[in-house]
Amino acid sequence: MRVKRWSSVVLVMMLSAAVALTGCGSSNNGAAGTNAGTNGGENTPSASVQDTLIIGRGGDSASLDAAIVTDGESLKIAHQVYDSLVEYKEGTTEVQGSLAEDWAVSEDGLTYTFNLRQGVKFHDGTDFNADAVVFNFTRWSDPASEYKFEGDSFDYYDSMFGPDGKRVIKEVKASDASTVEITLNQPQAPFLQNLAMTSFGIASPTAIQEKKENFKNEPVGTGPFVFKEWKRNDSITLEKNVDYWKEGLPKLNKVIVRSIPDNSARFNALQSGEIDLMEDLSPDDLATLEANSELQKIERPSNNVGYVGFNLKKEPFNDVKVRQALSHAVNKQAIIDAFFAGQAEPAKNPMPPSLWGYNDSITDYEYDLEKAKSLLADAGYADGLPGEYTFYAMPVPRPYMPDGKKVAEVIQADFEKIGVKVNIESPEWATYLDDAQAGEKDDLFMLGWTGDNGDPDNFLYALLDKDASNNYSYYANDELHELLVAAQTETEQSKREELYKQAQEIIKVDAPWIPLVHTTPLLAAKANLKGYVPAPTGTEYYSNIHFE
Amino acid sequence: MKAYILKRLFIMIPVLIGMTIIVFSIIHAIPGDPAETILGQKATEQSKEALREQLGLNNPWYQQYFTYMGDLLKGDLGQSIRTRVPIAQEITPYLAATAELTIAAMAFAIFFGVNAGIISAWKQNSWFDYISMLIALIGVSMPIFWLGLMEQWIFSLKLHWLPSIGRMNQRDPVEAVTNLYLIDSMIAGRWDQLWTVVRHLILPSVALGTIPMAVIARMTRSSMLEVMSSDFVRTARAKGLSQFIVVYKHALKNAFIPVLTVIGLQTGALLGGAVLTETIFAWPGVGRYIYEAISSRDYPVIQSGILIIAFLFVFINLIVDLLYAAVDPRIRYR
Amino acid sequence: MAQATTSTNNAPVIQAEKVSGPWRDAWRAFRRNKIAMAGLIMIVFFVLIALLAPVIAPYDYKAQELADRLKPPSSEHWFGTDDLGRDLFTRVLYGARISLWVGTFSVVGSIILGTLLGILAGFYGKWVDMIISRMFDILLAFPSILLAIAIVAILGPSLQNALLAIAIVNIPTYGRLVRAKVLGLKNEEYITAARSIGMKDSGILLRHILPNSLTPIIVQGTLGIATAIIEAAALGFLGLGAQPPAPEWGKMLSDSRQFIATAPWTVVFPGVSIMLTVLAFNLMGDGLRDALDPRMKN
């Protein structure tokens, strides 16, 4: 009896499998038809114009709380959820009003008075007002804030407005419900420029108080899109903010941002219609893209640097001669020719040439292995460096580096020729950033930076000043520090430019990094996607995007 | 039968306990300070201390273990360090995704394996026999991650027949009830969605099911050869039943035990293989969940994920054993 | 084919006469098994490739020529080049070294430890057996690749750790086998006899039990190498095994998967190599089982 019953179960299983499989077999014969179905037909049949945008990107967000993140993947989602007091005009780094309608600056440049937009509500229904602004600034600046949760640090606040004890902002106070007054300790030339950054997006105080450390998983702001769902390493779903204060926006109903780390899988998904817009197109796929009339190429204005950083906390990279020697051992042009399909230029400075203040008179360390060897010998390492070193290479494609692991392998091979043995490691992205920042596990690391605000301060001070929390090299030079702080307080443009040029000379000699490339990041989209203007800062609203 | 079930359950207890000990020791096997490894050097002493407290690392190990067991028995699998969500809650959709994939893979393996085995035995030494046994030989030697890549290349990139990654069409998401999308789309009465879900399932389940299919085909064939020379098949033939019915009805019944054995043996390989398949096909299953936890050093997730898979494995083997006993009472007394 | 093998095998036959009967029978049976012989020939071929890689390989496996990246197979580069312009043929040859090395040594490791534990369990029985057998049960209760991943997660990713992890997860396979064999033999008359004439435990183990356990170990070990090679490649594929620039086949696959559409040769050749090597050991293992294990003979 039992035998019969069980075998019949198996038979049923097999039968159903057979039905399923023969079913698919038969329709596969009409391959062309089914495939066309995947491209358009899978949308809800009734909708005439597509109003859901699916974006494919290389990595997941580390966190959704704009204030505690510094990586591009986290920021670009945060940008949809939060608004800052001021914002950049689309596609530029020019500042215009946002949550603050307008503002006045005092004569001495120390007091900023912001008139806030009225009637704006957070996604949780609470009011946006001056108190909310004060709450956010207090949270960012007070090291003992009860809303600074375990493991969090407000890195951008510290690096843009000075670390605790050296704060630029003295006080933020609400004069009335819709006026905020910010007083500075010293004038800061790029102050408004800084305020417009995504990280200074105003979050709902009620949500932070209620959700506590879970806020970083369920963000609430005033932005064009409302956070809906986050499936780690898979997708983030955003929905239209129907009460958005910008009239008629956003045009989309829903945005799904999927993480597809593999460059070719992501491109394949675009070709097959599974996604509408992809970031970080591998330059290897550029030819295929241009041959496909259903797709379009989108370029982001170049405003970045990809680099290899030395960890100066570690022997022997605290020795400038060693760093200079290794700087001679990287063949930037060959890397660019091989991996960037003309979408990059070699870097000699830690900031991009598209930015004012760039020092073009600097000559780079040329690729010369003999010279590298002799410099190593001068440093006392005639037989190469002793031991093996850990070289962190990005596990995910970045706009400034589409395939970090491969570039790292090229560098690894060149280093080996001068007797320097490095082992490449690529932990998961959030862990990678933590490790690189801690500077304990890595001896060298690959990373890059996309400018946030169109000011050289955002590269030179933010990444290389001894006080900056994004200084993952742990490079400290007092002379440089003085220059950079002077440039922050100086308000005359030509003087600032001069200071930054001097700073670049110091950095060149100290060689805390090997700057590798400045890229023009590539994106690709369906041909009928309109209204998308990539910003040089790497984050932009999706609110104007629509399909035709 | 009841006594046998009880005995079988009783034997399982030390194994289950042993498994919890192994999984429990994972966090203690990390060289250095686990709290620092997990949180990174950036972490303050305060937060490290808080984590040690949360993980109970400050107590003597036996006390930690009993607390751990106590939590497990209450169904508390701990909390993910990265997302701060209880693992028991977080893991459910991942488990369902893996279940759907492995069941589909097994269905594929059984259907093709059993049939190929039967026909090969029936038509012994025919070209069909040779070819299917050759395929089976290659099948058992196949690295499934490579097979998956080849499938994607041919059926998705070249021929555009099937989607290469994911479980469903993101534009038209399946409403999750059971998280088994085949069932969910049927609940919703969305036959077009069901079709999409099936299309997404085909490539990964073929990749995952190939090795068990090959093993099943080979075992079915050899046991069928034995059965077919037995008296009752000859009698059946003599009774004048058509060959097809003879082979399928009578012989299949007897081929059941080897198939059951293979299912028991291959489930482990299937659950392990799911890690690879899920990585290639971006399948949001528990294998990928664990793999990602490893690269982000989320040890509670690693521990609980592995423990759940191992429990599942033991449980499936228990069912297989009980089925044996049900099918063949002699086994009980062995 | 069969003719040729018999005529060229005079020497082994003479030698075989000195060896005890069963081995010669086994070799004969093995030789008659065409599929098994195919496996053996393939294994010899791969071993030769592995040993002679530095001699045969036309290039240095680490040498990059970025200008020549992703070139299709040609007379210059038989298997084409990878995305760093390295000769794929060279890398596949060197890959055989890594795979055979990991496969063989992890299996040797599991056999040594497994045999030791199996003998202890089988020979001493009682609580020793109890503990060891339960340990085997527990280890076997984890899907092996998952357990290997967990071990590497603790130890850190590297080829050595992958080898170690694979060796550990496969211990119970051999342990159980040896234990069963020992239990079977323990009560055989000649063992009882040996004991009664005062032979020591160690002597009995060495003279009688170990030689008798050899057959199933050899069969299982051969099949085990196949499994170990796949597991090592899987770990490499997940980034938990060999690290760059090592030319490990699994790692080569994961490095090249993004070029599957534009440069399929970068994915095809390493994959085929894994499959053929594994196939060779599976064929040989099956053949050995048929030849050495009389119970399986028809």
Q: Please list every residue in chain C whose beta carbon sits closer than 8 Å to the beta carbon of residue B19.
A: 138, 141-142
> And the tokens for C5?
């093998």
C280: closest chain B residue by CA: B141
Instruction: Indicate the number of domains in chain C.
Output: 1
pLDDT at A508: 95
Length of chain B: 334
Q: Is the pLDDT of residue B204 over 80?
A: yes
First to last CA, chain A: 64
| Phi–psi pair at C67, nearest 5 degrees | -65, -25
Share of chain A above pLDDT 90, in %: 55
* Closest CB from B256, B284, B296 relative to A431: B296
Is pLDDT above 90 for B231? no
| Distance (Å, whole) CA A87 – CA A361 | 33
3-state secondary structure A276-288: CEECCCCHHHHHH
- List residues in chain C touching A: CB distance below 8 A: 62-64, 66-67, 69-70, 83-85, 157, 239, 243-245, 255, 257-262
Burial class (CB in 10 A: 0-12, 13-18, 19+), B149: buried
Q: Does the pLDDT value for residue A42 go beyond 50?
A: no
User: A39-43, A102-106, C287-291: lowest mean pLDDT where?
Assistant: A39-43
Decide if C64 and A268 are in contact by the 8 Å CB cutoff: no
Which residues numbered 389-418 in A keep a CB inside 8 Å of some CB on B?
395
DSSP state of C257: G
Chain segment C6-17, per-residue pLDDT in tens:
333 444 444 444
Of B210, B304, B316, B317, the residue nearest B19 (C-alpha): B304
The answer to whether the CB of B312 falls within 8 A of the CB of B270 is no
Best to test chain B binding among C145, C253, C278 (most B CBs inside 10 Å):
C145
Chain C CB within 8 Å of residue B302 CB: yes
How many CB contacts within 8 angstroms connect chain B with chain C?
Answer: 122
Instruction: Pick A364 or B171 by higher pLDDT.
Output: A364
Tokens found for residue A105: 């600056």
Q: How far apart are CA C53 and CA C62, in angstroms?
A: 13
pLDDT level of residue B332 (50, 70, 90 thresholds): low
- Give the largest Cα separation in chain C, rounded: 77
Q: Alpha-carbon distance A292 to A229, whole Å?
A: 33
Residue B210 clears pLDDT 90, i.e. is over it: yes
Quick one: closest CA in C to A427, which residue? C239
Chain B residues 217-276 with a CB less than 8 Å from chain C: 268-269, 271-273, 275-276
Q: What pLDDT was estimated at residue A231? A: 86
Each residue's pLDDT tens digit, C21-32 = 667 777 787 788
Q: What is the CATH number of the domain that holds C127?
A: 1.10.3720.10
Quote the domain boundaries for residue C132. Answer: 32-53+87-293
Q: Out of A158-172, A252-266, B19-33, pick the least confident.
A: B19-33
Residue contact C154–B15, C-beta within 8 A: no
Residue C195 scores a pLDDT above 90: no
Rg (Cα) of chain C, in Å, rounded? Answer: 22
pLDDT > 70? residue C4:
no
Query: Are the beta carbons of A274 and B163 separated by less than 8 Å?
Result: yes
> What is d(CA A284, CA C263) in angstroms, rounded to the nearest whole number?
11
- CB contact (8 A) between residue B199 and residue A24: yes
CB A263 within 8 A of CB A403: yes
Question: Please, which residues bridge with residue A309 across strands?
Answer: A445, A513
Do β-strands A254-259 and A52-57 pair in parallel, antiparallel, or remain unpaired?
parallel
Exposed / middle / buried, residue B69 (Cβ in 10 Å: 0-12, 13-18, 19+): middle
d(CA A360, CA A508): 12
Q: Which of C105, C64, C78, C104 lies closest to C244 in space, CA to CA? A: C64
Query: Are B277 and B144 in contact, with CB atoms under 8 Å apart?
Result: yes
Looking from the CA of A511 toward its CB, the CA atoms found within 13 Å total 20
Nearest chain C Cα to A395, which residue?
C239
pLDDT band for position A380 (cuts 50, 70, 90): very high
| Nearest chain C residue to B158, by CA | C261
Q: How far apart are CA C205 and CA C185, in angstroms?
A: 10
- How does DSSP classify residue A142? -
Contacts of C283 in chain B (CB under 8 A): 137
Touching A (3+ Cβ pairs <8 A), the chains are B, C
Residue A40, pLDDT above cutoff 60: no
List the single best residue of A74, A214, A233 to mutate versus B (max B Cβ within 10 A). Answer: A233
- Among candidates C69, C243, C259 on the partner chain, residue whose Cβ is nearest the Cβ of A423: C243
C188: in domain: yes
Q: What is the DSSP letter of A49?
A: S
pLDDT at C2: 37
Full 3-state SS string of A189-220: CCHHHHHCCHHHCCCCHHHHHHHHHHHHCCCC
Question: 3-state SS of chain B: helix, strand, coil percent to 5?
Answer: 75, 0, 20
Q: Where are the alpha helices (DSSP H) in A1-45?
A: 2-28, 31-36
Q: Look-up: residue for tokens 């049927």?
A: B186
Q: pLDDT confidence of C253, banded at 50, 70, 90?
A: very high
What is the reported pLDDT for C294? 55
Write the CB contacts of B103 (distance below 8 Å, at least 6 apart in sequence): none
Is B295 close to A428, i.e. CB distance below 8 A? yes
Interface membership of B301 toward C (CB under 8 Å):
no
Q: Helix, strand or coil for residue C69?
A: coil
Which three-class secondary structure state does DSSP give residue B118? helix
- Name the minimum distance, in Å, from the CA of B18 to any CA of chain A: 31
C84: Cβ–Cβ under 8 A, 6 or more apart, which residues?
Answer: A338, A406, A409, A410, A413, C64, C66, C69
pLDDT higher than threshold 50 for residue A474: yes
Neighbours of chain B (3+ CB pairs under 8 A): A, C
- Ramachandran region, residue B40 (left: φ > 0; alpha: ψ -120 to 50; beta: rest): left
Residue A407 clears pLDDT 50, i.e. is over it:
yes
SS3 C54: helix
The C-alpha angle B244, B262, B318, rounded to 5 degrees, equals 120
Q: What is the pLDDT of residue C236?
A: 93
pLDDT tens-digit series, residues C197-251: 777 777 777 777 777 778 888 889 999 999 999 999 999 999 889 988 999 999 9
Q: Are A536 and A301 in contact (CB under 8 A)?
A: yes
CB contact under 8 A, C66 and A335: yes
> DSSP state, B13?
H
What amino acid is encoded at C251 in this protein? K
Residue A361, min C-alpha distance to chain B (Å): 38
Average pLDDT, chain A: 86
Kindly state whether B30 is in contact with chain C, defined as any CB-CB distance less than 8 angstroms.
yes
Residue A512 has pLDDT above 60, yes or no: yes
pLDDT above 90 (res C165): yes
Contact list in C for residue B290 (CB cut-off 8 A) is: 146, 149
What integer pLDDT is reported at residue A148 of this predicted model? 78
Q: Which of B50, B252, B296 sits opposite A428 (nearest CB)?
A: B296
Q: What is the pLDDT of residue C222?
A: 93
Share of chain B above pLDDT 90, in %: 17
Is C166 part of any domain? yes
Computed over every residue of chain B, the mean pLDDT equals: 83
C287 belongs to a structural domain: yes
Residue A143 phi/psi, 5-degree rounding, is -65, -20
Q: Identify which of C134, C150, C275 has the shortest CB distance to residue B142.
A: C275
Structure tokens given for A297:
């190429």
Check if B137 contacts C (Cβ < 8 Å). yes
Q: Is residue C273 part of a domain?
A: yes
Mean pLDDT of chain C: 84
pLDDT computed for residue A32 by the predictor: 35
- Which pLDDT tens digit goes with each residue over A254-307? 999 998 888 888 888 898 888 999 999 988 888 889 999 999 999 999 999 999
> B25 or C107: which carries more pLDDT confidence?
C107
Say how far apart CA A494 and CA A341 lie, in whole Å: 36
Distance CA A76, CA A535 (A): 11
Cβ neighbours of C271 in B, within 8 Å = 143, 146, 149-150
Three-state secondary-structure class, residue A176 = strand
**Alpha-carbon A42 to chain mean position:** 32
Res B240: pLDDT: 66
Inter-chain CB proximity A410 and C244 less than 8 Å: no
User: pTM of the full predicted structure?
Assistant: 0.85
Asked if the Cβ–Cβ distance from C275 to B146 is below 8 Å, we say: yes
pLDDT at B159 > cutoff 60: yes
Closest Cα partner for C109 from C212, C205, C228, C206?
Answer: C228
Top-confidence range, A133-147, B252-266, C121-135, C222-236 = C222-236
Is the minimum CB–CB distance between C185 and chain B shorter than 8 Å? no
A198 or B58: which leads in pLDDT: A198
The bridge status of strand A529-530 relative to strand A277-278 is unpaired
What the block records as the tokens of C78 is: 């038989």
- Indicate the range of A48-57, B80-89, B97-106, C96-105 predicted with least confidence: B80-89
Interface mutation target, options B145, B218, B292, B297, chain C, most CBs of C under 10 Å: B145
User: Is a pLDDT exceeding 90 seen at residue A453?
Assistant: no
Torsion of CA C119, C124, C127, C133, to 10 degrees: 20
> Considering only alpha carbons, which residue of chain C is nearest residue A408?
C244
Is C217 inside any structural domain?
A: yes
**Which residue on chain B is closest to C264 by alpha carbon?**
B153
d(CA B40, CA A432): 10
Question: Is there a domain that residue C2 lies in?
Answer: no
Residue of B nearest to C156 (CA): B30
Task: Decide if C296 touches B, using CB distance below 8 A.
Answer: no
Point out the residue among A285, A412, A426 whose CB comes nearest to the CB of C245: A412
Sorting pLDDT into bands at 50, 70 and 90, what band is B76?
confident
Q: How close does chain B come to C138, measured CA to CA in Å?
A: 5
Query: For chain C, how many residues are written?
Result: 298
Flag whether pLDDT at C111 surpasses 90.
yes
Q: Is the pLDDT of residue A11 over 60?
A: no
Q: Which is nearest to A67 in space by CA: A165, A170, A138? A: A138
What tens digit of pLDDT does each residue of A100-112 get? 999 999 988 899 9
Q: Does A34 touch chain B (CB under 8 A)?
A: yes
CA trace torsion B294, B299, B305, B309 (10° rounding): 80
The distance of A338 to chain B (nearest Cα, Å) reads 24
In a domain, C172, yes or no: yes
Confirm whether C15 is domain-assigned.
Answer: no
Return the pLDDT at A262: 81
